[in-house]
Every structure is written in C-alpha cells, then in structure tokens.
C-alpha cells in the first residue's frame, strides 16, 4: 500500500504537480488524426493533464493546440471560425494562429500595437502514426518525436482507438500491467475473441491461475514477467513492457497482432485509454480490422460521435448475470476492454491505496509506482531526464516465450524484447 501523500503524488497530474511535470516531459497522444480530417475543419476540444485546450488545422494543413479560452473575455474558442490560417473568436473576432499568436483584433487600430502583445498558451501538435501528439513541457527540453513501433509501421499494419474512462489514470494503467487477472476476468473471452483465440498461450493462462512474477528494471521502465507452467517442466513467460510514464505493451498471442495502451490523464478523476494493435511484418487483415472496429480485443464499441463506451457506468456496463452464471463471461460484462474498465471504474475516481492488501502477483504494480515516484522526484529535485524520454527506450516489444527453468527470461528473451524491423514478434 501507499501512504496518503504518496498516493497524491502518483495520481495528481495537473499543472505544477510533480507527476504532472513528469508527464509533460514526454510527447503525449491527444487526438486521432481523423479528428482533424482536413484543412480548416472545425476545431476540437482537448482536455489533457487538467488543461482545457483547442486543437485545429489551418488552411495550409498546420496543426495547432492552444488555450481553449480567448484572452479577451475568456470565451471558448471551440465556437471560433477556422479561416485563412487562423482561428477567429466568434465573440469579437480576435484571431490566432496555430502557435497562439494574435493575428487580428478588428476593433483596434494597427497603431495601438495591442495585437503584437497578445499571445495565447500553445503547444506543438504533430502527426505520427495516425495520432496527433503534443509536448507540454519547457520548449528548450522538447524531446525527439516518439518512436514506438506501432507508430512507425505502415498505416495498413496499425489500428488505434481511444475511449474515455471514468477513473484516475494510474488504476487504469495498473490493470494493464497485471497479467494475473487474465486467468479469471478474461477466461470467458480469450478462446473466443477473434483477436485472441487459437493461441497455445491461452491454455497456459487457463490451466495455471497462480503465476509467479519476476519484475526487472529496464532502461525505460520495467519488464514484467509472469511465469506459468508449461509442458516438460518448462515455463511459459508473458513479458509485459511498461515504459514511463504510461505506455504498456501486452504479450501477443499466437499469430495475432501485438497490442497495448497509453493511459493519459484527462484530469485527476478521468483518463483517456488509448489502445493500439499492429503487426511489424504484415498488413492487418480485413477480418482483424473489422473485429477491432467491432470492439474486440483491447478495443470497445463507442457511442456514435463520442469516445464514450456503449457499455458504461450509466447502464451498468450492460452486465448480463445470466452470461456470468453460465460461465460465458466471468464478470457478466462482455468484451475484454470493458471487463477491465468496469472494474477499474468501480474502485471510484481515485483509489485509496492506503487500504490495499498487496500480494506477490502485485510486484509489477509495486515497482511501477516506485519508478514513477522516483522519476518524478529526480526531475523535481535534480532536473534528471526521466526514463522513457529517450527514443531508444521506446523501441521495445512485449513477448511470449517458452523457456527451461534455468534460463532467466531477461537474458534469454533479450532480443525478443527489442523492436526489430522486418522480424515477427515472439509469441506462443
């Protein structure tokens, strides 16, 4: 468990907080490219790290992310007119470019010089891998663009989605690095979900509900190894990648695509769960893509026109007690993504970690918290660049492997835990 002040440290990400400053050291995903589909399209509201912002794409295709509120009378720029390389406030016509610079104040004579003195808060917004990323930290410390493998493969090898989750980012992320719950919560789905079924690893997940965890620090975060029994005295290892601050990559199954998440704070009580699937050596098939659009695997169906899951807190996640009792789903909630999300949201907006009783299978969670707190303190006290900022830390893969008991996974699977262009992932 954590002390209350530690829990506050890891869960609060607004401006000026230690964890907020840590998140602001990285490029952060904020929009799907399709949300700004063309030049001069309508602006989009963005709330991230407790900051309310507006994203837009100007006449020449440049992306901008600026303060939501006009510096004149604090009207929301979401009502603004996107025209002629700037966003013009609908109230009094003040106009701003993608860098937040004031371009025009119609009511003021040019000689007043007011236009030159007005600038809105703004952040860079760049397209990479079908995702629009922003960097919200000090400009002089802006890191290179992200190099996660899913963002560097061809567009037809990748699928990305996002959904709003009504919980703090950390309890969502902690679910993403917890392999032990697969044997219970997801047992009704891993053999039927089209993006999971048919894998030999499913058998090991279901036959051994007592995984042994070995967690090792990596350059960017952690290798979280969950060991289960396999044939002939060997071990089945599922190795999850955690890279600070909130990237997770889940071990693949069979010949299926690789998948994982980013858990991005909207504010302290809500987060955006980003989910990606990709394959490093082939196109995703139409069956795979349609399954992802249909909410299979780590994705979910959304209320049309929103990023709110169709199964959500307001409708009890469409829970089916009959399906639960028949063993079709362990919790009564359909779909792997919402099986996770429903239970994480059930903890309340922010878990009181002073009341926890952690056990051996929580080693990954304990060490992730430690790495996060240490990185936040080192940044605050020493200005130390956090793990995961270096793009070398992002060129990673998860892996599923069978190993004899005398071979430590960190050494035996070291090659498989690194992204390698043109080579298939290690999977069981």
Q: What is the pLDDT of residues 46-68, one digit of tens each?
A: 999 999 999 999 999 999 999 99
Residue 359 confidence class, pLDDT cut points 50, 70, 90: very high
What per-residue confidence (pLDDT) applies to 110?
Answer: 84
Q: Say what the alpha-carbon torsion angle 378, 379, 385, 386 is, to the nearest 10 degrees.
A: 70
Q: Is the pLDDT of residue 280 over 90?
A: yes
CB 235 within 8 Å of CB 258: no
**Burial status of residue 425 (CB atoms within 10 A of its CB: 0-12, 13-18, 19 or more):** buried
Share of the chain above pLDDT 90, in %: 94
- Write the DSSP string, 34-70: GGS-STTPPPEEEEETTEEEEEEE-TTS-EEEEESB-
Residues 6+ apart with CB under 8 A from 140: none
Q: Is the pLDDT of residue 1 over 90?
A: no
Average pLDDT, stretch 321-339?
Answer: 93
For the chain, the average pLDDT equals: 96
3-state secondary structure string across 408-419? CHHHHCCCCCEC
Q: What is the pLDDT of residues 178-199, one digit of tens each?
A: 988 988 999 888 889 999 999 9
Other CB atoms closer than 10 Å to residue 74's CB: what's the count?
10
Measured CA to CA in angstroms, residue 208 lies from 126, 250, 328, 405 at distances of 44, 18, 19, 16
What per-residue confidence (pLDDT) applies to 180?
Answer: 84
Distance of CA 49 to the CA centre of its chain: 13
Domains of the chain: 31-141 (2.102.10.10), 149-412 (3.90.380.10)
- Report CA torsion sign: 326, 328, 333, 334: negative
Average pLDDT, stretch 119-135?
Answer: 98
Q: Is the pLDDT of residue 375 over 90?
A: yes
Measured CA to CA in angstroms, residue 90 lies from 67, 81, 86, 103 at distances of 15, 7, 12, 15
Q: What is the pLDDT of residues 388-412, one digit of tens each?
A: 999 999 999 999 999 999 999 999 9
Q: What is the pLDDT of residues 72-95, one digit of tens each?
A: 999 999 999 999 999 999 999 999
The three-state secondary structure class of 126 is strand
Average pLDDT, stretch 105-132?
Answer: 95
What per-residue confidence (pLDDT) applies to 413?
Answer: 95
Share of the chain above pLDDT 70, in %: 100
Residues 6+ apart with CB under 8 A from 123: 53, 65, 66, 134, 135, 136
Residues in the chain: 428
What per-residue confidence (pLDDT) applies to 189?
Answer: 87
């Amino acid at each position: 468990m954590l002390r209350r002040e530690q829990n506050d440290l890891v869960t609060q990400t607004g401006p000026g907080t230690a964890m907020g400053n840590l998140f602001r050291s990285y490029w952060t995903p904020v929009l799907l490219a399709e949300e700004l589909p063309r030049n001069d399209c309508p602006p989009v509201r963005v709330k991230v790290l407790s900051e309310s912002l507006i994203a837009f794409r100007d006449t020449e295709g440049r992306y901008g992310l600026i303060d939501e509120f006009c510096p004149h009378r604090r009207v929301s720029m979401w009502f603004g007119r996107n025209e002629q390389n700037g966003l013009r406030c609908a109230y009094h016509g003040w106009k701003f470019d993608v860098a937040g610079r004031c371009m025009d104040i119609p009511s003021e004579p040019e000689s007043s010089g007011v236009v030159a003195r007005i600038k809105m808060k703004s952040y860079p917004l760049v397209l990479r891998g079908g995702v629009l990323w922003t960097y919200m930290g000090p400009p002089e410390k802006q890191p290179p663009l992200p190099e996660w493998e899913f963002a560097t493969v061809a567009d037809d090898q990748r699928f990305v989605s996002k959904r709003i989750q009504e919980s703090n980012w950390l309890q969502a992320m902690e679910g993403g690095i917890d392999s032990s719950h697969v044997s219970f919560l997801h047992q009704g789905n891993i053999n039927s979900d089209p993006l999971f079924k048919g894998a030999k690893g499913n058998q090991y997940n279901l036959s051994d509900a007592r995984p042994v965890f070995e967690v090792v620090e990596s350059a960017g975060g952690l290798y979280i190894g969950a060991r289960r029994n396999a044939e002939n005295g060997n071990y089945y290892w599922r190795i999850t990648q955690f890279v600070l601050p909130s990237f997770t990559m889940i071990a693949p199954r069979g010949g299926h695509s690789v998948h994982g998440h980013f858990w991005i704070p909207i504010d302290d009580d809500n987060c955006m769960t980003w989910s990606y699937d990709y394959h490093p050596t082939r196109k995703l098939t139409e069956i795979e893509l349609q399954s992802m659009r249909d909410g299979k695997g780590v994705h979910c169906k959304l209320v049309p026109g929103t990023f709110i899951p169709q199964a959500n807190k307001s409708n009890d996640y469409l829970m089916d007690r009959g399906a639960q009792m028949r063993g079709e789903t362990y919790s009564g909630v359909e779909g792997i993504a919402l099986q996770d999300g429903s239970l994480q949201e059930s903890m309340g907006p922010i878990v009181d970690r002073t009341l926890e009783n952690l056990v051996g299978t929580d080693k990954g969670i304990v060490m992730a918290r430690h790495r996060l707190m240490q990185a936040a303190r080192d940044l605050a006290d020493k200005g130390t660049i956090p793990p995961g900022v270096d793009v070398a830390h992002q060129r990673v893969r998860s892996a599923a492997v069978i190993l004899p008991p005398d071979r430590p996974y960190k050494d035996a699977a070291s090659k498989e835990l690194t992204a390698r262009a043109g080579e298939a992932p290690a999977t069981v």
